Structure 1
Amino acid sequence: MLRLISRILNLSGKYKNRIKSAFIFAFIESVLSKMTIFIAFTVLIGFYEKRNTSKTFLYVGIGLVLVVLLQAVVHFLSDKLQSAAGFMIFADKRMELGNHLRKLPMGYFTAGNLGKINSVLSSDMAFIEEVSMSTIANMMSYLLSTLVLTIFMFVLDYRIGLIAVCVILVATLLANSMNKMSLSEAVIRQEQSEKLTDAVLSFAEGIGVIKSYNLLGENSKSLTDNFVSSKDTSIKFENKITPWTTGLNIIYGLSITFILAVAIYLNYQGALGLPYMLGLILFVFDLFSPLKTLYGEATRLTVMNAALDRIEEVLNETELQDAGKKHISKSDSVEPEICFNHVKFSYGEKEVLHDMSFKMNKNTMTALVGESGGGKSTVANLLARFWDVDSGEILIKGVNIKDVSLSELMSEISMVFQRVYLFQDTIFNNIAMGKENVTKEEVIEAAKKARCYDFIMAFPDGFDTIIGEGGATLSGGEKQRISIARCILKDAPIVILDEATASVDVDNESYIQGAISELVKNKTLLVIAHRLNTIRDADNIIVIKEGNIAEQGTHNELIALNGIYKNMVELQNKNNGVKIL
């Protein structure tokens, strides 16, 4: 218990003093809540000794009012400190997690961890800040209250105090065993929460396929099974906890009965005066209440402990090193602009790029072609440092990209993918994220260059139109043009283009081609090519096969080789009826 409280304090960072202050106020509140019984005890002694007067009851009344008012104030301060601290702590933690995720290699996100990230953000952090942080100060208060009440038992009679200590020790041993079991079950419960989140995300993302194959409702087996598993896991958790809490309640009840019996016996023997026995009767039913409440909250704390483990697991994932101190030259005289030197890269144990070397000069176009899975996208992702190379180096203007900060590197690169993701926000903000401190005029100009101004203004709210999550309310071509407007606004010197027209309709293709033409003016362009007719004029075409550079050169040079590239061109000519040669 104390270890978990200590863990929360370490998590609190700069808010630690707020939590500690909340502990103090919670303890004061706990003491004040017992003051009414202390006052009743003094009144009983006054009756027994026949020294109560009208002034006594006046003072008692004033004292009770002051105690109640002071308790209300202290309760307010305690709640304000601990509850507000929980939200502030996890506001910072979410920012820390976001910054951490930004620095993780892309492999982490493609390894099935999206459900874990979503669960940590929406379940684990929310549980701690909303449920556990509002009671953590009370946990310490219950411990201290138990100590105070036990000391008072010793004041009444040392034998009763010893009985109380023995009961507390037995309850603590039993509760520790309960917490160990609860902790292991809490881990299972939170892991199932992650699986359910993952299943819901998969269901939502694949809803089109699911509907087309009539897999809705009970037929969506994975989602249905996860709902059932989550229910079963929660019920199992409660079923395992209930016998322990019932056992603790029985111990508390029997102990109170035993203490009362001992008190009556001591009074009968003349070892315990009547006022003290009456005082004990006032206190004994409240003696184990703090301990009972403390261990009643134990299940929350074990779930919180499991949640903290999962949060720390994500935060402890190894980041891409971002300690680079070098800067990319702004001079136009440095050549080549991009250089791959003997680059090797593996996904896990499988090497997918083998000793790859090539150069790209400033304001030239380099196209990557080849069969699917050959490594084209990997080359682009390594240039953007979504992953780090296993060996070799990638240079921009002679500087290893590992020696440059990630923020500076990304300021040099714009990326346009086939699969565009837009955020649930206004069109204006989706474009404006390409540049800090952007003006409205700059956004409008970028939209015009990207050929999306007209369809934006056709919406009733224009640039203030809210886009659905992922850009769901726009067509594929519209999303693509907005993403290109974002890149035009960013105006980075290097553009990575996963050919944007590969999966759009003919009507949109001409608009997108025009937008791309605006984007790539005076830029160094790396294109992952799908339609070979779009790269005929590339300065260098690299044919990648099984992670190696099989051929490279201009279109005419590669045709003259009569090799892989020429076969690809002839195959597309045959399938599409488009003459590229």
Structure 2
Amino acid sequence: MIGVLKKIWHFAGEEQGNIRKSMILGFFYAVFHMFQIAAIYVVVLALVGGSTDSTPAWQALGLLLASILGRAVLNRFSQLQQTHAGYFMVANKRISIGDKLKRVPMGYFNDQSLGELTGITTTVLDEVESTGPMVLVGILGGLINSAVMLLCVLFWDWRIGLLALAGMLVYLALLSGMEKQSAKIAPKRQRDEARLVEAVLEQLQGMSVIKSFNLTGKGDKRVRQALEDSRANNLAVEKLFTPYIWSQEMVLHLFSVLILAASVGLCLTGAMSLANALMAVIVSFLIFSQIQSAGSGVSALRLVGSS
């Protein structure tokens, strides 16, 4: 996984600065997201303490407003940086390819397929443009934000933190297994998509000949085969990812239930205050959100890496 992330990073070239900015903004986005949890904690403490003062309500409202406004602004600029990086890093590569093609020998296209080059500069690079920066920022940002949230929980209550850590480690183990399996099929899927574009373009270029000699159904065997190969590979990717995604979801839900059960048990035995127990119940629904966001990008990581 690290190798593929490095490939995307080097491919970005001059756009690395925009990707870096997007990751930094994503980190502060997670910080503002924590303001929501702080607002809930203020309310829980007030309810458990039997407070009738309006101060906790205003404090919670202020934290929520700061969270909403901060996340809205940061998300906007983060998305702009990702979009800019994705578009221009691919645009620069297309220009580079065009500059090289202007200098190739006259007989170059006797051995090389123009359709294949067109497929690379369209379908293949479109995959990088639309998904590359998003995957890079999503995975690295999600992992960093998960680590920050986990550290906060560990300092708040080490018992809940250890359960969350165990859940994250199991989740990452499953994620690593899925990433290794996808490495086997991603290159073939990418090649078949490029061949499909190549076959369709050649079919369109030779349409006059196909019509003149009534070759429909005979001369388009290559296109039909390319369509079938693309369909089979996309279906194979979905079949490969589905068990892993299901297992990952079950692991996170299981550890969320364990955190919830542990908080209730600790409260009943007097080892945890009621306010902290209620907060731990709420945390059980939120603690894995960032790492789940990072995991969602891994399924597309190898496909982008192959492209």
Q: Is TM more than 0.5 here?
A: yes
> What is residue 164 of structure 1 aligned with on the other side?
164
> What is residue 292 of structure 2 aligned with on the other side?
292
**Distance of 1:33 and 1:73 partners within structure 2:** 13
**Distance of 2:215 and 2:27 partners within structure 1:** 56
**Distance of 1:218 and 1:292 partners within structure 2:** 48
**Distance of 2:72 and 2:17 partners within structure 1:** 22
> What is residue 116 of structure 1 aligned with on the other side?
116
1:233-286 alpha-carbon deviations (Å, 9 max, x no partner): 111111111111111111111111122222222222222221111111111112
Change (3 A) 1:16 1:268: same
Question: Alpha-carbon deviation of 1:34?
Answer: 3.1
| Aligned alpha-carbon RMSD (Å) | 2.0
Query: Given that residues 30 and 141 in structure 1 are in contact (C-alpha distance below 8 angstroms), is that contact kept between their aligned partners in structure 2?
Result: no
Letter in 2 for 1:236: A
Is residue 272 of structure 2 the alignment partner of residue 277 of structure 1? no
Q: Identity over the aligned pairs, expressed in percent? A: 25
Is residue 236 of structure 2 the alignment partner of residue 236 of structure 1? yes
> What is residue 34 of structure 1 aligned with on the other side?
34
> What is residue 197 of structure 1 aligned with on the other side?
197
Change (3 A) 1:237 1:149: same
Equivalenced residue count is 307
> What is residue 11 of structure 1 aligned with on the other side?
11
**Distance of 1:50 and 1:240 partners within structure 2:** 53
Is residue 36 of structure 2 the alignment partner of residue 55 of structure 1? no
Change (3 A) 1:206 1:129: same
**Distance of 1:88 and 1:23 partners within structure 2:** 18
1:277-336 alpha-carbon deviations (Å, 9 max, x no partner): 1111111112212222222222222110010xxxxxxxxxxxxxxxxxxxxxxxxxxxxx
Q: Secondary structure at the match of 2:271?
A: coil
Q: Secondary structure at the match of 1:183?
A: helix
Is residue 144 of structure 2 the alignment partner of residue 144 of structure 1? yes
Change (3 A) 1:63 1:168: closer
> What is residue 263 of structure 1 aligned with on the other side?
263
Query: Given that residues 42 and 56 in structure 2 are in contact (C-alpha distance below 8 angstroms), is that contact kept between their aligned partners in structure 1?
Result: no
Change (3 A) 1:164 1:155: same
Question: Alpha-carbon deviation of 1:44?
Answer: 0.8
Change (3 A) 1:231 1:204: same
**Distance of 1:218 and 1:146 partners within structure 2:** 56
Question: Alpha-carbon deviation of 1:106?
Answer: 5.0
Q: Secondary structure at the match of 2:111?
A: coil
Change (3 A) 1:218 1:131: farther
**Distance of 2:200 and 2:168 partners within structure 1:** 45
1:91-116 alpha-carbon deviations (Å, 9 max, x no partner): 21111111223334455533244333
**1:58-457 to 2 correspondence within 5 Å?**
58-106=58-106, 108-217=108-217, 220-307=220-307
Q: Secondary structure at the match of 1:297?
A: helix
Change (3 A) 1:49 1:106: farther
Letter in 1 for 2:166: C
Question: Alpha-carbon deviation of 1:171?
Answer: 1.4
Query: Given that residues 153 and 280 in structure 1 are in contact (C-alpha distance below 8 angstroms), is that contact kept between their aligned partners in structure 2?
Result: no
1:377-428 alpha-carbon deviations (Å, 9 max, x no partner): xxxxxxxxxxxxxxxxxxxxxxxxxxxxxxxxxxxxxxxxxxxxxxxxxxxx
Q: Name which of structure 1's ranges 189-198 and 291-300 shifts more when overlaid on structure 2.
A: 291-300
Bigger RCO (CA 8 Å, 6+ sep): 2
* More helix, by proportion: 2
Letter in 2 for 1:153: V
Query: Given that residues 5 and 136 in structure 2 are in contact (C-alpha distance below 8 angstroms), is that contact kept between their aligned partners in structure 1?
Result: yes
* More strand, by proportion: 1
Unaligned stretches of 5+ in structure 2? none
Letter in 1 for 2:260: L
**Distance of 1:92 and 1:263 partners within structure 2:** 53
**Distance of 1:162 and 1:105 partners within structure 2:** 63
Question: Alpha-carbon deviation of 1:122?
Answer: 0.5
Query: Given that residues 156 and 280 in structure 1 are in contact (C-alpha distance below 8 angstroms), is that contact kept between their aligned partners in structure 2?
Result: no
Question: Alpha-carbon deviation of 1:67?
Answer: 2.0
| Larger Cα-atom Rg | 1
**Distance of 1:55 and 1:262 partners within structure 2:** 31
Query: Given that residues 138 and 293 in structure 2 are in contact (C-alpha distance below 8 angstroms), is that contact kept between their aligned partners in structure 1?
Result: no
For normalisation by structure 2, the TM-score amounts to 0.92
**Distance of 1:182 and 1:212 partners within structure 2:** 44
**Distance of 1:192 and 1:107 partners within structure 2:** 26
Query: Given that residues 192 and 229 in structure 1 are in contact (C-alpha distance below 8 angstroms), is that contact kept between their aligned partners in structure 2?
Result: yes
**Distance of 2:289 and 2:106 partners within structure 1:** 51
**Distance of 2:196 and 2:12 partners within structure 1:** 29
Change (3 A) 1:106 1:133: farther
Flag as ranges the 4+ runs of structure 1 deviating above 6 A. Answer: none
Letter in 1 for 2:299: T
Query: Given that residues 15 and 85 in structure 1 are in contact (C-alpha distance below 8 angstroms), is that contact kept between their aligned partners in structure 2?
Result: yes
1:38-74 alpha-carbon deviations (Å, 9 max, x no partner): 2111221233234562133223223322221121111
1:164-214 alpha-carbon deviations (Å, 9 max, x no partner): 222212211211110111122111111101211221122122222222222
Question: Alpha-carbon deviation of 1:10?
Answer: 2.1
**Distance of 1:12 and 1:191 partners within structure 2:** 22
**Distance of 2:38 and 2:62 partners within structure 1:** 14
> What is residue 455 of structure 1 aligned with on the other side?
none
**Distance of 1:52 and 1:301 partners within structure 2:** 52
> What is residue 338 of structure 1 aligned with on the other side?
none
